[in-house]
Structure 1
Amino acid sequence: MRRLDTLVRPVERYADALSATAHGVVAVVSFFTFVGVIALGFVPVTRRIETSGYSTSDLQAATNRAEVDTILQAFQPVMESVVLLSVLDYLFIVAGFFLFFSLHSLAVKTLAGHERLVLIPKVGMWLTVVSRLLDSLENLWVILIYTNPDDYATVLIGLMNTTETVKWTVVGVEYPTLGVAIVVALLAWYTSLFDRRSARPQ
Protein backbone atom coordinates (compact mmCIF):
# COMPACT_ATOMS: atom_id res chain seq x y z
CA MET A 1 0.00 0.00 0.00
CA ARG A 2 2.91 2.33 0.76
CA ARG A 3 4.26 1.80 -2.76
CA LEU A 4 0.88 2.74 -4.22
CA ASP A 5 0.76 5.88 -2.09
CA THR A 6 4.26 6.82 -3.24
CA LEU A 7 3.25 6.29 -6.85
CA VAL A 8 0.10 8.39 -6.77
CA ARG A 9 1.47 11.22 -4.62
CA PRO A 10 3.05 13.17 -7.54
CA VAL A 11 -0.20 13.15 -9.53
CA GLU A 12 -2.15 14.10 -6.42
CA ARG A 13 0.11 17.13 -6.03
CA TYR A 14 -0.61 18.17 -9.61
CA ALA A 15 -4.34 17.79 -9.08
CA ASP A 16 -4.19 19.81 -5.85
CA ALA A 17 -1.90 22.51 -7.27
CA LEU A 18 -4.74 24.21 -9.16
CA SER A 19 -8.39 24.85 -8.45
CA ALA A 20 -11.09 23.03 -10.40
CA THR A 21 -11.72 26.22 -12.37
CA ALA A 22 -8.03 26.54 -13.29
CA HIS A 23 -7.89 22.91 -14.38
CA GLY A 24 -10.97 23.55 -16.49
CA VAL A 25 -9.31 26.50 -18.21
CA VAL A 26 -6.15 24.48 -18.86
CA ALA A 27 -8.26 21.66 -20.28
CA VAL A 28 -10.15 24.00 -22.63
CA VAL A 29 -6.98 25.72 -23.90
CA SER A 30 -5.22 22.37 -24.30
CA PHE A 31 -8.21 20.90 -26.13
CA PHE A 32 -8.31 23.67 -28.72
CA THR A 33 -4.52 23.44 -29.12
CA PHE A 34 -4.80 19.65 -29.44
CA VAL A 35 -7.52 19.86 -32.10
CA GLY A 36 -5.89 22.83 -33.82
CA VAL A 37 -2.58 21.02 -34.24
CA ILE A 38 -4.40 18.12 -35.88
CA ALA A 39 -6.69 20.15 -38.16
CA LEU A 40 -4.38 23.04 -39.06
CA GLY A 41 -1.03 21.29 -38.72
CA PHE A 42 -1.00 17.53 -39.14
CA VAL A 43 -3.55 17.32 -41.93
CA PRO A 44 -2.05 19.82 -44.43
CA VAL A 45 1.57 18.99 -43.59
CA THR A 46 0.94 15.25 -43.91
CA ARG A 47 -0.68 15.81 -47.30
CA ARG A 48 2.44 17.65 -48.51
CA ILE A 49 4.65 14.82 -47.26
CA GLU A 50 2.48 12.21 -48.97
CA THR A 51 3.18 13.82 -52.36
CA SER A 52 6.52 12.00 -52.05
CA GLY A 53 4.68 8.71 -52.20
CA TYR A 54 5.27 7.95 -48.53
CA SER A 55 4.19 9.23 -45.11
CA THR A 56 5.99 9.42 -41.79
CA SER A 57 3.84 6.46 -40.74
CA ASP A 58 5.52 4.44 -43.49
CA LEU A 59 8.90 5.44 -42.07
CA GLN A 60 7.89 4.42 -38.56
CA ALA A 61 6.64 1.08 -39.88
CA ALA A 62 9.82 0.33 -41.88
CA THR A 63 11.71 -2.59 -40.39
CA ASN A 64 15.04 -2.61 -42.25
CA ARG A 65 17.62 -0.19 -43.59
CA ALA A 66 16.69 -0.70 -47.25
CA GLU A 67 13.07 0.33 -46.59
CA VAL A 68 14.13 3.32 -44.50
CA ASP A 69 16.67 4.50 -47.09
CA THR A 70 14.07 4.31 -49.86
CA ILE A 71 11.64 6.43 -47.85
CA LEU A 72 14.33 8.95 -46.86
CA GLN A 73 15.32 9.44 -50.49
CA ALA A 74 11.68 10.06 -51.41
CA PHE A 75 11.40 12.56 -48.52
CA GLN A 76 14.20 14.82 -49.77
CA PRO A 77 11.93 17.23 -51.76
CA VAL A 78 9.56 17.54 -48.77
CA MET A 79 12.09 17.40 -45.93
CA GLU A 80 11.03 20.82 -44.60
CA SER A 81 7.53 19.43 -44.11
CA VAL A 82 8.93 16.34 -42.39
CA VAL A 83 10.83 18.55 -39.94
CA LEU A 84 7.75 20.71 -39.37
CA LEU A 85 5.69 17.62 -38.64
CA SER A 86 8.19 16.58 -35.96
CA VAL A 87 7.88 20.01 -34.33
CA LEU A 88 4.09 19.80 -34.47
CA ASP A 89 4.26 16.33 -32.97
CA TYR A 90 5.99 17.67 -29.85
CA LEU A 91 3.42 20.47 -29.58
CA PHE A 92 0.71 17.81 -29.89
CA ILE A 93 2.37 15.77 -27.14
CA VAL A 94 2.52 18.74 -24.74
CA ALA A 95 -1.08 19.77 -25.47
CA GLY A 96 -2.29 16.20 -24.99
CA PHE A 97 -0.39 15.89 -21.73
CA PHE A 98 -2.01 18.96 -20.18
CA LEU A 99 -5.43 18.08 -21.60
CA PHE A 100 -5.43 14.58 -20.14
CA PHE A 101 -3.82 15.63 -16.86
CA SER A 102 -6.33 18.42 -16.29
CA LEU A 103 -9.32 16.21 -17.12
CA HIS A 104 -8.00 13.55 -14.77
CA SER A 105 -7.34 16.21 -12.11
CA LEU A 106 -10.97 17.30 -12.31
CA ALA A 107 -11.98 13.67 -11.87
CA VAL A 108 -9.63 13.32 -8.89
CA LYS A 109 -11.21 16.35 -7.21
CA THR A 110 -14.71 15.06 -7.89
CA LEU A 111 -13.91 11.58 -6.57
CA ALA A 112 -11.91 12.81 -3.57
CA GLY A 113 -14.30 11.11 -1.14
CA HIS A 114 -14.18 7.77 -2.94
CA GLU A 115 -10.98 5.98 -1.90
CA ARG A 116 -11.07 3.29 -4.60
CA LEU A 117 -12.76 5.07 -7.49
CA VAL A 118 -10.29 7.96 -7.30
CA LEU A 119 -7.54 5.52 -8.27
CA ILE A 120 -8.96 5.39 -11.82
CA PRO A 121 -7.96 8.96 -12.80
CA LYS A 122 -4.71 8.66 -10.84
CA VAL A 123 -3.72 5.57 -12.82
CA GLY A 124 -4.87 7.37 -15.96
CA MET A 125 -2.45 10.21 -15.25
CA TRP A 126 0.47 7.81 -15.05
CA LEU A 127 -0.63 6.15 -18.29
CA THR A 128 -0.56 9.61 -19.87
CA VAL A 129 2.99 10.18 -18.60
CA VAL A 130 4.14 6.86 -20.07
CA SER A 131 2.37 7.29 -23.42
CA ARG A 132 3.66 10.85 -23.92
CA LEU A 133 7.19 9.77 -22.98
CA LEU A 134 7.04 6.93 -25.50
CA ASP A 135 5.63 9.27 -28.16
CA SER A 136 8.48 11.71 -27.51
CA LEU A 137 11.07 8.94 -27.80
CA GLU A 138 9.53 7.63 -31.01
CA ASN A 139 9.67 11.12 -32.48
CA LEU A 140 13.29 11.43 -31.36
CA TRP A 141 14.33 8.20 -33.10
CA VAL A 142 12.66 9.42 -36.31
CA ILE A 143 14.50 12.75 -36.08
CA LEU A 144 17.84 11.05 -35.50
CA ILE A 145 17.24 8.93 -38.60
CA TYR A 146 16.17 11.61 -41.08
CA THR A 147 18.70 14.20 -39.90
CA ASN A 148 21.55 11.79 -40.67
CA PRO A 149 20.26 9.79 -43.65
CA ASP A 150 23.69 8.57 -44.78
CA ASP A 151 25.08 7.42 -41.44
CA TYR A 152 22.31 6.79 -38.90
CA ALA A 153 22.71 3.86 -36.51
CA THR A 154 20.69 0.84 -37.68
CA VAL A 155 19.66 0.18 -34.08
CA LEU A 156 17.46 3.28 -34.32
CA ILE A 157 15.11 1.38 -36.63
CA GLY A 158 14.49 -1.27 -34.00
CA LEU A 159 14.08 1.35 -31.29
CA MET A 160 11.59 3.23 -33.45
CA ASN A 161 9.53 0.09 -34.16
CA THR A 162 9.55 -1.13 -30.56
CA THR A 163 8.68 2.28 -29.12
CA GLU A 164 5.80 2.68 -31.55
CA THR A 165 4.39 -0.76 -30.68
CA VAL A 166 4.60 -0.17 -26.93
CA LYS A 167 3.20 3.35 -27.29
CA TRP A 168 0.07 2.18 -29.07
CA THR A 169 -0.39 -0.58 -26.49
CA VAL A 170 -0.33 2.01 -23.69
CA VAL A 171 -2.58 4.40 -25.65
CA GLY A 172 -5.06 1.54 -26.09
CA VAL A 173 -5.45 1.52 -22.30
CA GLU A 174 -4.94 5.26 -21.70
CA TYR A 175 -7.92 6.54 -23.71
CA PRO A 176 -10.51 4.10 -22.28
CA THR A 177 -9.20 4.87 -18.77
CA LEU A 178 -9.81 8.58 -19.36
CA GLY A 179 -13.32 7.80 -20.60
CA VAL A 180 -14.09 5.66 -17.56
CA ALA A 181 -12.67 8.32 -15.20
CA ILE A 182 -14.87 11.02 -16.75
CA VAL A 183 -18.01 8.86 -16.65
CA VAL A 184 -17.42 7.79 -13.04
CA ALA A 185 -16.69 11.38 -11.99
CA LEU A 186 -19.85 12.65 -13.68
CA LEU A 187 -21.93 9.94 -12.00
CA ALA A 188 -20.40 10.77 -8.62
CA TRP A 189 -21.04 14.50 -9.18
CA TYR A 190 -24.64 13.90 -10.26
CA THR A 191 -25.26 11.57 -7.29
CA SER A 192 -23.87 14.09 -4.81
CA LEU A 193 -25.93 16.85 -6.43
CA PHE A 194 -29.08 14.73 -6.17
CA ASP A 195 -28.31 13.89 -2.51
CA ARG A 196 -27.86 17.59 -1.67
CA ARG A 197 -31.18 18.46 -3.26
CA SER A 198 -32.89 15.63 -1.41
CA ALA A 199 -31.39 16.78 1.90
CA ARG A 200 -32.86 20.28 1.57
CA PRO A 201 -35.75 20.93 3.97
CA GLN A 202 -39.09 20.81 2.25
Structure 2
Amino acid sequence: MQWLDALVRPFERYADALSAQNHAIVAFVSFCIFVGVIALGFVPVTRRIETSGYSTADLQAATTREEVDTILQGFEPVIESVMLLSILDYVFIVAGFFLFFSLHSLSLKALVGHDRLVLIPKIGMALTVVSRLLDSLENLWVILIYTNPDDYATILISLMNNSEALKWMVVSVEYPMLGISIAVALLTRFTSLFDGRAKSPQ
Protein backbone atom coordinates (compact mmCIF):
# COMPACT_ATOMS: atom_id res chain seq x y z
CA MET A 1 0.00 0.00 0.00
CA GLN A 2 2.12 2.83 -1.34
CA TRP A 3 -0.39 5.53 -0.35
CA LEU A 4 -0.16 4.44 3.29
CA ASP A 5 3.65 4.48 3.18
CA ALA A 6 3.57 8.00 1.71
CA LEU A 7 1.11 9.12 4.41
CA VAL A 8 3.16 7.91 7.37
CA ARG A 9 6.63 8.72 5.98
CA PRO A 10 6.66 12.25 7.51
CA PHE A 11 5.89 10.69 10.91
CA GLU A 12 8.83 8.31 10.54
CA ARG A 13 11.09 11.21 9.59
CA TYR A 14 10.01 13.14 12.67
CA ALA A 15 10.69 10.12 14.88
CA ASP A 16 14.12 9.59 13.29
CA ALA A 17 15.06 13.27 13.46
CA LEU A 18 15.78 13.09 17.19
CA SER A 19 17.22 10.50 19.51
CA ALA A 20 15.01 8.80 22.09
CA GLN A 21 16.58 10.98 24.79
CA ASN A 22 15.81 14.19 22.88
CA HIS A 23 12.24 13.06 22.20
CA ALA A 24 11.88 12.47 25.94
CA ILE A 25 13.13 16.01 26.63
CA VAL A 26 10.70 17.47 24.07
CA ALA A 27 7.87 15.45 25.60
CA PHE A 28 8.74 16.63 29.13
CA VAL A 29 8.95 20.31 28.15
CA SER A 30 5.74 20.06 26.11
CA PHE A 31 3.97 18.37 29.01
CA CYS A 32 5.01 21.16 31.39
CA ILE A 33 3.69 23.77 28.94
CA PHE A 34 0.55 21.69 28.31
CA VAL A 35 -0.27 21.44 32.02
CA GLY A 36 0.91 24.98 32.75
CA VAL A 37 -1.40 26.50 30.14
CA ILE A 38 -4.34 24.65 31.69
CA ALA A 39 -3.55 25.44 35.33
CA LEU A 40 -2.10 28.94 35.00
CA GLY A 41 -3.87 30.10 31.86
CA PHE A 42 -7.18 28.45 31.05
CA VAL A 43 -8.47 28.22 34.62
CA PRO A 44 -8.00 31.87 35.77
CA VAL A 45 -8.82 33.39 32.36
CA THR A 46 -11.96 31.27 32.02
CA ARG A 47 -13.09 32.38 35.48
CA ARG A 48 -12.72 36.03 34.45
CA ILE A 49 -14.73 35.39 31.28
CA GLU A 50 -17.46 33.61 33.24
CA THR A 51 -18.08 36.79 35.26
CA SER A 52 -19.92 37.95 32.13
CA GLY A 53 -22.45 35.18 32.65
CA TYR A 54 -21.14 33.20 29.68
CA SER A 55 -18.12 31.13 28.72
CA THR A 56 -16.40 30.43 25.42
CA ALA A 57 -17.92 26.94 25.66
CA ASP A 58 -21.34 28.59 25.52
CA LEU A 59 -20.28 30.43 22.37
CA GLN A 60 -18.98 27.25 20.75
CA ALA A 61 -22.25 25.47 21.58
CA ALA A 62 -24.47 28.27 20.23
CA THR A 63 -26.24 27.30 17.02
CA THR A 64 -28.17 30.44 16.05
CA ARG A 65 -27.15 34.01 15.33
CA GLU A 66 -29.43 35.24 18.12
CA GLU A 67 -27.67 33.04 20.67
CA VAL A 68 -24.24 34.09 19.45
CA ASP A 69 -25.13 37.80 19.46
CA THR A 70 -26.40 37.55 23.04
CA ILE A 71 -23.18 35.91 24.19
CA LEU A 72 -21.03 38.43 22.31
CA GLN A 73 -22.83 41.29 24.05
CA GLY A 74 -22.10 39.64 27.38
CA PHE A 75 -18.42 39.28 26.40
CA GLU A 76 -17.91 43.01 25.80
CA PRO A 77 -16.58 43.79 29.33
CA VAL A 78 -14.20 40.79 29.23
CA ILE A 79 -13.25 40.76 25.54
CA GLU A 80 -9.53 41.09 26.36
CA SER A 81 -9.74 37.88 28.39
CA VAL A 82 -11.55 36.19 25.50
CA MET A 83 -8.70 37.22 23.17
CA LEU A 84 -6.11 35.99 25.66
CA LEU A 85 -7.88 32.65 25.89
CA SER A 86 -7.68 32.28 22.09
CA ILE A 87 -3.92 32.90 22.21
CA LEU A 88 -3.51 30.39 25.04
CA ASP A 89 -5.53 27.88 23.03
CA TYR A 90 -3.00 28.02 20.19
CA VAL A 91 -0.12 27.60 22.67
CA PHE A 92 -2.01 24.59 24.06
CA ILE A 93 -2.48 23.17 20.57
CA VAL A 94 1.22 23.44 19.70
CA ALA A 95 2.34 22.01 23.05
CA GLY A 96 -0.10 19.12 22.68
CA PHE A 97 1.13 18.42 19.18
CA PHE A 98 4.77 18.09 20.23
CA LEU A 99 3.84 16.16 23.39
CA PHE A 100 1.82 13.55 21.51
CA PHE A 101 4.24 13.35 18.57
CA SER A 102 7.28 12.83 20.78
CA LEU A 103 5.54 10.19 22.91
CA HIS A 104 4.45 8.38 19.76
CA SER A 105 7.99 8.73 18.40
CA LEU A 106 9.35 7.01 21.49
CA SER A 107 6.83 4.21 20.96
CA LEU A 108 7.78 4.06 17.28
CA LYS A 109 11.44 3.59 18.15
CA ALA A 110 10.58 0.86 20.67
CA LEU A 111 8.47 -1.00 18.10
CA VAL A 112 11.02 -0.99 15.26
CA GLY A 113 10.97 -4.43 13.64
CA HIS A 114 7.33 -5.07 14.54
CA ASP A 115 5.70 -4.34 11.19
CA ARG A 116 2.12 -4.41 12.41
CA LEU A 117 2.47 -2.99 15.90
CA VAL A 118 4.40 -0.02 14.55
CA LEU A 119 1.20 1.12 12.84
CA ILE A 120 -0.31 2.00 16.24
CA PRO A 121 1.88 5.06 16.94
CA LYS A 122 1.71 6.06 13.26
CA ILE A 123 -2.09 6.05 13.39
CA GLY A 124 -1.87 7.98 16.66
CA MET A 125 0.26 10.63 14.97
CA ALA A 126 -2.26 10.95 12.14
CA LEU A 127 -5.07 11.42 14.66
CA THR A 128 -3.04 14.09 16.47
CA VAL A 129 -2.57 16.03 13.22
CA VAL A 130 -6.31 15.88 12.49
CA SER A 131 -7.41 16.81 16.02
CA ARG A 132 -4.98 19.75 16.27
CA LEU A 133 -6.03 20.98 12.84
CA LEU A 134 -9.71 20.86 13.81
CA ASP A 135 -8.97 22.58 17.12
CA SER A 136 -7.07 25.32 15.28
CA LEU A 137 -9.94 25.81 12.84
CA GLU A 138 -12.50 25.92 15.64
CA ASN A 139 -10.45 28.57 17.40
CA LEU A 140 -10.12 30.53 14.14
CA TRP A 141 -13.91 30.58 13.57
CA VAL A 142 -14.42 31.81 17.15
CA ILE A 143 -11.87 34.60 16.61
CA LEU A 144 -13.51 35.66 13.34
CA ILE A 145 -16.87 35.85 15.12
CA TYR A 146 -15.93 37.86 18.22
CA THR A 147 -13.57 40.23 16.39
CA ASN A 148 -16.40 41.27 14.05
CA PRO A 149 -19.52 41.00 16.24
CA ASP A 150 -21.67 43.27 14.08
CA ASP A 151 -20.94 41.79 10.66
CA TYR A 152 -19.61 38.22 10.90
CA ALA A 153 -20.77 35.67 8.32
CA THR A 154 -23.50 33.40 9.72
CA ILE A 155 -21.80 30.38 8.13
CA LEU A 156 -19.02 30.79 10.73
CA ILE A 157 -21.43 29.48 13.36
CA SER A 158 -21.91 26.21 11.46
CA LEU A 159 -18.18 25.94 10.78
CA MET A 160 -17.48 26.47 14.49
CA ASN A 161 -20.08 23.88 15.56
CA ASN A 162 -18.94 21.28 13.02
CA SER A 163 -15.25 21.76 13.79
CA GLU A 164 -15.93 21.30 17.50
CA ALA A 165 -18.04 18.18 16.97
CA LEU A 166 -15.46 16.60 14.66
CA LYS A 167 -12.62 17.54 17.01
CA TRP A 168 -14.19 15.74 19.97
CA MET A 169 -14.90 12.70 17.81
CA VAL A 170 -11.22 12.47 16.87
CA VAL A 171 -10.00 13.27 20.41
CA SER A 172 -12.16 10.44 21.80
CA VAL A 173 -10.00 8.06 19.73
CA GLU A 174 -6.73 10.01 19.85
CA TYR A 175 -6.18 9.84 23.62
CA PRO A 176 -6.90 6.10 23.98
CA MET A 177 -4.64 5.47 20.97
CA LEU A 178 -1.79 7.25 22.76
CA GLY A 179 -2.33 5.05 25.81
CA ILE A 180 -2.37 1.91 23.67
CA SER A 181 0.76 3.04 21.82
CA ILE A 182 2.71 3.57 25.06
CA ALA A 183 1.40 0.36 26.64
CA VAL A 184 2.29 -1.77 23.60
CA ALA A 185 5.76 -0.20 23.40
CA LEU A 186 6.44 -0.85 27.09
CA LEU A 187 5.11 -4.39 26.87
CA THR A 188 7.21 -5.11 23.80
CA ARG A 189 10.33 -3.68 25.43
CA PHE A 190 9.69 -5.64 28.64
CA THR A 191 9.12 -8.86 26.69
CA SER A 192 12.31 -8.40 24.67
CA LEU A 193 14.34 -7.77 27.83
CA PHE A 194 12.81 -10.84 29.49
CA ASP A 195 13.54 -12.99 26.43
CA GLY A 196 17.11 -11.68 26.31
CA ARG A 197 17.74 -12.65 29.91
CA ALA A 198 16.15 -16.05 29.40
CA LYS A 199 18.44 -16.75 26.44
CA SER A 200 21.62 -15.48 28.09
CA PRO A 201 24.09 -18.20 29.14
CA GLN A 202 23.91 -19.29 32.77
Shift in Å, 1:113: 1.2
Q: Which amino acid aligns with 1:2?
A: Q
Shift in Å, 1:197: 1.6
Q: Which amino acid aligns with 1:108?
A: L
Shift in Å, 1:199: 2.3
Alignment of 1:65-84 (within 5 A): 65-84=65-84
Partner of 1:52, secondary structure, is: coil
Shift in Å, 1:200: 2.1
Q: Give the corresponding residue for 1:55.
A: 55
Alignment of 1:39-188 (within 5 A): 39-188=39-188
Please list the CA deviations of residues 125-184 of structure 1 after superposition, one character each: whole Å capped at 9, or x if unmatched: 010000000000000000000000000000100000000000100111101111100100
Q: Give the corresponding residue for 2:7.
A: 7
Q: Which amino acid aligns with 1:25?
A: I
Partner of 1:112, secondary structure, is: coil
Q: Distance in 2 between matches of 1:181 and 1:88?
A: 28
Q: Distance in 2 between matches of 1:17 and 1:196?
A: 28
Q: Distance in 1 between matches of 2:102 and 2:21?
A: 10
Partner of 1:151, secondary structure, is: coil
Alignment of 1:21-32 (within 5 A): 21-32=21-32
Shift in Å, 1:2: 1.1
Q: Distance in 1 between matches of 2:129 and 2:55?
A: 27
Q: Which amino acid aligns with 2:148?
A: N
Stretches (4+) displaced over 4 A: none
- % of aligned pairs identical? 77
Q: Which amino acid aligns with 1:196?
A: G
User: Which region of structure 1 is more displaced relative to structure 2, 2-11 or 111-120?
Assistant: 2-11
Q: Distance in 1 between matches of 2:137 and 2:2?
A: 30
RMSD across aligned positions (CA): 0.6
In the alignment of these two chains, the number of paired residues is 202
Please list the CA deviations of residues 108-131 of structure 1 after superposition, one character each: whole Å capped at 9, or x if unmatched: 000011000000000000100000
TM-score of the pair, normalised by structure 1: 0.99
Shift in Å, 1:193: 1.1
Shift in Å, 1:201: 1.8
Q: Which amino acid aligns with 1:72?
A: L
Partner of 2:114, secondary structure, is: coil
TM-score of the pair, normalised by structure 2: 0.99
Q: Distance in 2 between matches of 1:189 and 1:43?
A: 38
Q: Distance in 2 between matches of 1:196 and 1:29?
A: 33
Q: Distance in 2 between matches of 1:164 and 1:81?
A: 21
Is residue 2:11 matched to residue 1:18? no
Shift in Å, 1:23: 0.3
Partner of 1:59, secondary structure, is: helix
Please list the CA deviations of residues 41-99 of structure 1 after superposition, one character each: whole Å capped at 9, or x if unmatched: 00000000000000000000000100000000000000110000000000000000000
- Unpaired stretches in structure 2, ≥5 consecutive residues: none
Q: Distance in 1 between matches of 2:109 and 2:176?
A: 19
